[in-house]
Structure 1
Amino acid sequence: MRFLAAFLALPLLAQVDTGAISGTVSDASGAVIPNVQVTVTHLDTNIKTALSTNASGFFAAPSLKVGRYTVGATAEGFRPEMRTSIDLHVQERLEINFTLQVGSSASEVTVTAAAPLLESETSSLGQVMEQKTITDLPLNGRNFIQLATLTAGTLPSSRTAERDNFIANGARAIQNSYLLDGVENKNRILGFDKGVAQIVQPVIDAIQEFKVQTSTFSAEFGQAAGGVVNVTLRSGTNQIHGSAFEFFRNSKLDALPYFQPAAGGRPAFLQNQFGATLGGPVRKSQTFFFASWQTSREVNAAPQIGSVPLQPVRDGNFGATRMYDPATVRTNPAGAGFVRDLFPNNIVPASRWDPVSVKFAALFP
């Protein structure tokens, strides 16, 4: 006997990496109009979201993918109205209101929307970095998080081993939260390499946009006491699109490093970062794909500064530094604890050196 089990998952309306469009539909006298058919259309994918106004004339379309939209309102006895060129960004809540005019449905009113000067639907403080900003501004190593410091209230972080973080409103860099398409991307939580703040480092050509929120963000970002970096990746559209890139650095274009001997010339440094992106439809207006790839090649012969033991130390002579013989550790006859003897003249005899350490010491310049 075989059993078939079906599980239903109810969608959650938290808008981590999406936006929302809402508004009110009224007539010329200001009276609200219920049961108005409102259609929200994503222009790149032609995906439509259909809804109706309630008894108060209000409509809301949550969890919309970022991008450019048109919003249309249609009601019996009124001329249809269309709002075009509406740019929706990550975590943005736009208010688009309609005032329908009495008339025939054969004619339509089209209004080109402008970005609102004030976002009245949320009190969150932050800044959106769009795709053009991400790809056009110079970034050392193509690390997009360097742009986070363009947000008000942020500073570069210099007292941490992580290479891709920042300080928001005086909080520690470790208190920031990093999201990638709505999924937690913070390295410290999962205990991986502490040299980077993010688990997945997205290719900047694959980033649609990202938003840095620094204050009064909603409860869905409860893990963050500092800033929130919310990254949204690009999606395929109804048109096939792609790109290829290479960024090249050559030491012949660099100045002579300060610690490099003048007779040695410029040390060799060659860096190539290259990759490609490709996106398009699997089934138009329904299913899409997008892929990105990047790799790096580097040859680096830059001078390095380090401390090496002097010859007396390599011979076992530590001078004024007190060196105790671990083989002489014994119980303190005068009381609690242990005592041990110094090596004569603080010189460790060669017979006491570990064979591996002897070979290792010979490698020092």
Structure 2
Amino acid sequence: MSHVERQVIRFFTLLLCMTAVVCFGQFSGSVQGTVQDTTGLAIANATVTLTNTDTTVAQQATSDSSGLYRFVSLAPGPYDVSATAPGFGTAKVSFPLTSNETREVRVVLAVTKVSTSIEVTSQAPLLDTADSRNEQTLETQALQALPLAARNPTALITLTPGVTGLGTGTSTNFNPENYIDASANGRGQNGNQYIVDGLDVTSSIRPGVLNLTPNVDAVAEISVQTNTYSVEYGRASSIQTVITTKSGTDQFHGFASEYYSYQGLNAKGEFVPPGTKINPYHVNNMSFGVGGPVIPHHQFFFFFSIEPYRALTSNGQSVQTYEDPAFLSFAQTAQPNSPEVQLMAKYRPTSATTSAVSATALDAFGPQNIGANTGCSTPSTDNIPCATPVFDHGIFNSSSYNNSYQWNARVDKYFDKDRIYGNFIRNYISSGGPAVRPAFATTSYDYGSSIQVNEMHAFSPQTVNEASFGYNRIEGFANKTGTFTVPIVGVSGLGVGFGDGFAQGDFIQHSYHWRDVLTRIRGAHNFNFGYEGWHGDDLALFAGAYGIPNLSYNNMIDLINDKPFSESGLSYNSVTGQPQPGQYKFAMSTFGMFAEDTWRVSKKLTLNYGIRYD
């Protein structure tokens, strides 16, 4: 290995270590089959070579006495299998391999006078006798060709036979908690499991929720499995979705795209009256990527992608109810020192366009009844004149923004007996919008970081060990900025209250995942012995959110007289009755061991059986 190559490897290793969940091996495919002559007899001691045609990385095996060969721990992609033996020519079979697939490939050799034969298989067989899974695999071409709502690759999960549900709706892939309405086997969504490049990214506190969704242009394929799970995975009871990201190849390649939409591109439809305007909006979803060799012809590859997203979404025209300026003038005269009156004067509903008075004092408080001291123009209502406007109706036309991006960097390095892989993904979301009372506009921020590494070592052609580690972190601030010094105030009849609600609610989730699998090939048996551990926690740092009082008033007169009906929203210790920060922590760890055997009983029958303990 050259000095330059060592330095590059050290740089990427350092990058991965600096960015620091459990991983399922992304290299989960295998290829098996027999080498035969034209009469169907087995050929022993044939040299079999498997080559990934994207990366040109090759490995060799020797067929046993029954002509059987097997390759394990393979990434999905296009492959060639070629075989040769003394006295025979060379034959080659080309085929695609998908995630978690065990592919049966028979190689037929002719006598020496026929030099070479090539068989090309571009699609998976209708019936693969080496694989019992009920699953659907969507490769890059399908992901690009099929309609994809919000460019979210998980929106296609519901296309799988046996899967029901509404999918993702308009959710983008940037969300740190993506809920997918999809289920199978009579189970709900909480039985779903999601894996990205071997990393289990299923939420630890919201089962079935996805904590990491890659850019669709960085996805090589998605495999959706609904039953016949092997013992390698221990959490899924409904759907198991495996997402594999793209890797670099032996040739440089790249892409650039933009999906743009705005109101002018929308068809109004038959039932929309002529001249009706569509509320303005726009979406710019850009995507860029490049991959190739880090050092040409050294089996060292990289892939990088970035997806900027800029969107402005119309909230439409909503009718809002708020106090009339005449009522504020009355309140400033009747109760000039009231803190609630000062609140109304400082935070006025200036973002709405008033259309009409919705209620006068007569409507809000009832007719005057001096004997009972009720209604307008009585001491109980501070003698407010019955004709005084109290509430107005107004139109609030607003738009909310969402500025997001995601980028990922992946490296793959192959040695004689080792393979090293690493991937880092970063998410960022900034969102917000205006408010009827401008001071109460808020912004929210979400972040996500994921890193994983995988190392495979071949002790021999029959014995392979694969170890992996991953870490995933998401964090969200529900209302990162806003006017949090004002209590939350609600009044019966007043649609637009005061305050920003959930203030600086910070949630953080960590997931750690580690795994080691030893594979031993012995004759027609492929034995796997594995151990994995997983630890996750959820930190709810809600001291700010539960430190703001929520005050409720029965009517506007009680408001200006500082007479709340109830107060809530503050966090107290239920034992001592004293205030305390409203936050908590949840943590969970799981550990599992498994052993399984994939036994090729015959060329028409393969059995997979095993046992797992978690």
Which TM class, normalised by the smaller chain length?
Answer: 0.7 to 0.9
1:17–1:231 Cα contact (<8 Å) kept: no
The aligned amino acid for 1:289 is F
Q: 1:292-339 CA deviation, whole Å, 9 max, x = no partner? A: 1101111223316688688649999869xxxxxxxxxxxxxxxxxxxx
Q: CA deviation at 1:256?
A: 6.2
**Could you tell me how far apart the structure 2 residues matched to 1:210 and 1:158 are?**
15
- Percent of counterpart pairs with the same letter? 31
Q: 1:149-190 CA deviation, whole Å, 9 max, x = no partner? A: 11111122489995434122331112100000111011x21x
* Aligned mate of 1:216, from 228, 231, 236: 228
Q: Report the secondary structure of 2:562's partner residue.
A: helix
- The residue that corresponds to 1:294 in the other structure is 307
- The residue that corresponds to 1:202 in the other structure is 214
Q: Report the secondary structure of 1:220's partner residue.
A: coil
What pairs up with 1:261-340 in 2 under 5 angstroms?
265-283=277-295, 284=297, 286-303=299-316, 312=364
- The residue that corresponds to 1:56 in the other structure is 66
- The residue that corresponds to 1:8 in the other structure is none
The aligned amino acid for 1:352 is K
- The residue that corresponds to 1:184 in the other structure is 200
**Could you tell me how far apart the structure 1 residues matched to 2:58 and 2:131 are?**
25
Q: Please give the root-mean-square deviation of Cα atoms over the aligned residues, in Å.
A: 3.6
**Could you tell me how far apart the structure 2 residues matched to 1:130 and 1:217 are?**
21
The aligned amino acid for 2:239 is G
Residues 1:307 and 1:16: Cα distance change in structure 2 (over 3 Å): farther
**Could you tell me how far apart the structure 2 residues matched to 1:116 and 1:43 are?**
20
* Aligned mate of 2:266, from 248, 251, 254: 254
Q: 1:217-267 CA deviation, whole Å, 9 max, x = no partner? A: 21222210110111111111111100111111111233569xx99998322
**Could you tell me how far apart the structure 2 residues matched to 1:344 and 1:223 are?**
50
Residues 1:127 and 1:195: Cα distance change in structure 2 (over 3 Å): closer
The aligned amino acid for 1:211 is S
Q: Which range moves more in the overlay, 261-270 or 308-317?
A: 308-317
* Aligned mate of 2:121, from 110, 113, 123: 113
- The residue that corresponds to 1:122 in the other structure is 131
**Could you tell me how far apart the structure 2 residues matched to 1:51 and 1:317 are?**
77
What pairs up with 1:70-81 in 2 under 5 angstroms?
70-81=80-91
**Could you tell me how far apart the structure 2 residues matched to 1:250 and 1:318 are?**
39
Residue 238 (structure 1) aligned with residue 449 (structure 2)? no
* Aligned mate of 2:563, from 342, 349, 352: 352
Q: Which range moves more in the overlay, 260-269 or 54-63?
A: 260-269
Q: Is there any run of 5+ residues in structure 2 with no aligned partner, and where?
A: 1-23, 170-176, 323-357, 366-389, 392-489, 494-552, 569-614
The aligned amino acid for 2:236 is A
Q: 1:97-136 CA deviation, whole Å, 9 max, x = no partner? A: 12322326x9222233364221111211011111111012
- The residue that corresponds to 1:143 in the other structure is 152
**Could you tell me how far apart the structure 2 residues matched to 1:138 and 1:280 are?**
28
Q: Report the secondary structure of 2:232's partner residue.
A: helix
The aligned amino acid for 1:130 is E
**Could you tell me how far apart the structure 1 residues matched to 2:41 and 2:287 are?**
56
**Could you tell me how far apart the structure 1 residues matched to 2:145 and 2:47 are?**
40
- The residue that corresponds to 2:165 in the other structure is 156
1:211–1:229 Cα contact (<8 Å) kept: yes
Residues 1:303 and 1:286: Cα distance change in structure 2 (over 3 Å): same
* Aligned mate of 1:44, from 54, 78, 95: 54
Residues 1:215 and 1:304: Cα distance change in structure 2 (over 3 Å): farther
Q: Is there any run of 5+ residues in structure 1 with no aligned partner, and where?
A: 1-13, 320-342, 358-365
- The residue that corresponds to 2:30 in the other structure is 20
Q: CA deviation at 1:344?
A: 11
1:143–1:164 Cα contact (<8 Å) kept: no
Residues 1:305 and 1:166: Cα distance change in structure 2 (over 3 Å): farther
* Aligned mate of 1:95, from 64, 87, 104: 104
The aligned amino acid for 2:306 is W
The aligned amino acid for 2:164 is L
1:15–1:91 Cα contact (<8 Å) kept: no
Q: How many residues were matched structurally?
A: 312
1:240–1:280 Cα contact (<8 Å) kept: yes
TM-score, normalised by the number of residues in structure 1: 0.74
TM-score, normalised by the number of residues in structure 2: 0.46
**Could you tell me how far apart the structure 1 residues matched to 2:554 and 2:32 are?**
84
Residues 1:133 and 1:308: Cα distance change in structure 2 (over 3 Å): farther
Q: CA deviation at 1:33?
A: 2.2
The aligned amino acid for 1:268 is P
